[in-house]
Every structure is written in structure tokens, then in C-alpha cells.
Amino acid sequence: MIAPDRPRRSALYLPASNARAIEKARTLPADVIILDLEDAVAPEAKVEARAAAVAAVREGGFGGREVAIRANGLDTEWGADDLAAIAQSGADAVLVPKVSSPTDIAACEAALQSAPPSMQLWAMIETCAVVGQLDAVAAMAKTTRLSLWIMGVNDLAKEMRAKLTPERTPFLPALTLAVCAARANGVAVLDGVCNEFRDLAVFRREAEQGLLWGFDGKSLIHPDQIAPCNEVFSPGEAELAQANSIIAAFALPENAGKGAIRVEGKMAELLHLEQAKRLVAIAQQIAALS
């Protein structure tokens, strides 16, 4: 496993062709920065954007943030050169779009042969074709660099010809099946973007949906979305206090060897102890970030 369970509450996309946005990203409190070469970059600007992304990563200055570069698909005229350049960039991850099968993951893995072993492979889950193969694609994490998925709701809506409403009901089955497949295979999974970047109340409701549905965090398109997103995906005070109570209760001598105990009037089992420990560990890592 090359992807530790680290906080990935907020993952901000920016067009790698936008120098101002790259400069800003070095100071923004997003856990993950994604320099995009794909949909946010016009065909005429692709080659220049690739060079700018690689130069930005080499230059550094992103602090503790994870930095990924999103490549164009291997079926486009830019894909192979993107992967070759990203492999040597020192980025934490390469994000590949429109993955539809285990074969697609295998092709990306092969293209990254010369990349350092620490470089992760992240995949966009955004085609209709992948929905029937989620488990097989996630299982590729056992034998490749694959460690994280990001849902691409705009592309999924386009392919399904479904409407992207605030409730997101047409996408709920695909989103939750993706969460299950990712979890079953130890892959981290981030929710899709909310195109609404001026109305932060709409954004917050969507981020809360993502938390409820099990995502580790959310992908973002605008700096204003970072603060509410980090807040939604950070463990709350009450939740942390409860987790600490569960950990403390299981540590009591009278509870040694027990599988189920009473904590503050509720049942707590060993599975809750595990959840509590994970929550506390994530909270500690978040505290260390800020």
C-alpha cells in the first residue's frame, strides 16, 4: 500500500495553464492540489500547460499538500507524453481521466514504469462503462500504484444524459457503489465537484452529502470552496469527544477482553473502537497540517 490514510478533505483543481492560480495554490489550505492538463485546458494550450505543471512541481513550495497532475487520456494525442512527463516530475500522483476498465489501469501503470515507486496512480471515475466494473478496477490497487479515485460527476451526467440537481439522485447508485468498491479494496475516494462556486450554502449541502455517503473528501474548483469543505470533512468536536470516550472505555481493566461494552449509555463494539481510533488519527494529522 503506497497511500497512507491521510486527510484528503479538499482537493482543488486548477488549470495548469493558469500561472496565477498555481501561485495562489501554494498558499491555499487545500489538502490536495490538482494541476489539470485535461478538461480545464484548451487544445492549443495543452503542451505549454504540461511544461508549466512539471515546472511548478519541480519548483515546489506546496508545503504539506499532496500535489497531483491530471493527464489527458491515453487515447488522446497528448496522453502518452503527459504520462511520460509526469512520471519524471516528482508529483505525488498522476490522475488519469475516464478510466473504464482494469485494462485502462494496466496501460497507465505500464506508462509509469520509469516513475519513482512512491508516485501514486489516481483515477477519475466518470464513465458509464466503469460503473459495471467498479470492483475489478478497484482491485487493481493490489498489483499497481492505484490508490485513490475521484468521482467525475460532470462527465457522468453528460454520458448518462442525466440532470445534475442539488439532490444528485440520478448519481446516488453510482456514487455509493464506487464508495463500496473503493473501500473493499483499500482505495481512497473523493466526491465530485460542485459547479456552484458563488453560492456556498449550496456547496456546503453538497459537501455534507458527500460526507454522509462515505467519501474521504471532495474535489473543488474554486478557492472559496476550500474552507467550508475542510470544515465539513474534519471530525467535529462532539464526534472526537465520543471517539476518545470509546477508546478510554475499552482501555479500562474491567473491559479487558470484552467485545461489546456500554459507553455513555450506548453500545460500543470493537468495530466502533476501530472507527474511533481512525477518527482520532485523522484529527491528529489535520491538527499537524495547520
Instruction: Return residues touching ligand COA (CB under 6 A).
Output: 12-15, 20-21, 24-25, 36, 39-40, 193, 221-223
Q: Which is nearer to ligand COA, 13 or 215 (CB)?
A: 13
Residue 221 touches which of Mg ion, ligand COA, none (CB < 5 to 8 A by kind)? ligand COA
Residue 193 touches which of Mg ion, ligand COA, none (CB < 5 to 8 A by kind)? ligand COA
Angle at which helices 79-87 and 102-111 cross, to 10°: 50
Nearest approach, Cβ of 121 to ligand COA (angstroms)? Answer: 18
* Secondary structure letter of residue 145 according to DSSP: S
Residue 15 touches which of ligand COA, Mg ion, none (CB < 5 to 8 A by kind)? ligand COA
State the pairing for strand pair 260-263/266-269.
Answer: antiparallel
Q: Which is nearer to Mg ion, 99 or 119 (CB)?
A: 99
Nearest approach, Cβ of 262 to ligand COA (angstroms)? Answer: 47
Identify the H or E element spanning 165: none
Helices (H), 164-225: 172-184, 200-212
Q: Which is nearer to Mg ion, 66 or 126 (CB)?
A: 126
Residue 14 touches which of Mg ion, ligand COA, none (CB < 5 to 8 A by kind)? ligand COA
Residue 155 touches which of Mg ion, ligand COA, none (CB < 5 to 8 A by kind)? Mg ion
CA angle 241, 246, 248 (to 5 degrees): 90
Check residue 127 and give left, alpha or beta (phi > 0: left; psi -120 to 50: alpha): beta
Identify the H or E element spanning 168: none
All cell numbers assigned to 12: 482543488
Nearest approach, Cβ of 66 to ligand COA (angstroms)? Answer: 15
Nearest approach, Cβ of 266 to ligand COA (angstroms)? Answer: 41
Q: Which is nearer to ligand COA, 10 or 133 (CB)?
A: 10
Which residues of this protein are in contact with Mg ion, per CB under 5 A? 126, 152, 155
Residue carrying the nine cell digits 472507527: 275
Cβ within 8 Å of residue 149, ≥6 positions away: 122, 123, 124, 125, 138, 178, 182, 187, 188, 189, 190
Nearest approach, Cβ of 34 to ligand COA (angstroms)? Answer: 7
